Amino acid sequence: MGLFKKEACCLCGGKTGLMDKKCLSGKVCKNCAKKMSPWFDNYKGMDKASLFQEKQMGIGNAVLNRNMPWQAYVRNKCKQTDESE
């Protein structure tokens, strides 16, 4: 019948579930959706190439955000307050 048919992710080829996002090229798995920008929600109007580009942009932004200099400052301050208590 195909009610619970497992499809492959159009970006990575992984398994998709019932509640995963649909796009023009198929479905996008949860892992690929997590790698995209948190404000991105236009899955239905995008094809595979556009979604792949959005995924790469999200990965790049995550790396840039992780390497921000202010985050090291905040981490050090949090460690100092934890040690002093």
CA distances from 15 to 6, 8, 41, 69 (A): 6, 5, 20, 37
- SS3 of residue 15 by DSSP: strand
pTM for the predicted model, two decimal places: 0.62
Q: Are 29 and 12 in contact (CB under 8 A)?
A: yes
Count of CB atoms within 10 A of residue 55's CB?
Answer: 20
Residue 85 has pLDDT above 60, yes or no: no
Give the model's pLDDT for residue 76. 75
Tens digit of each residue's pLDDT (9 = 90 or more) over 10-22? 888 888 888 888 8
Residue 83 has pLDDT above 70, yes or no: no
How confident is the model over 21-76, as pLDDT tens digits? Answer: 888 888 888 888 888 877 778 888 888 888 888 888 888 877 777 777 766 777 77
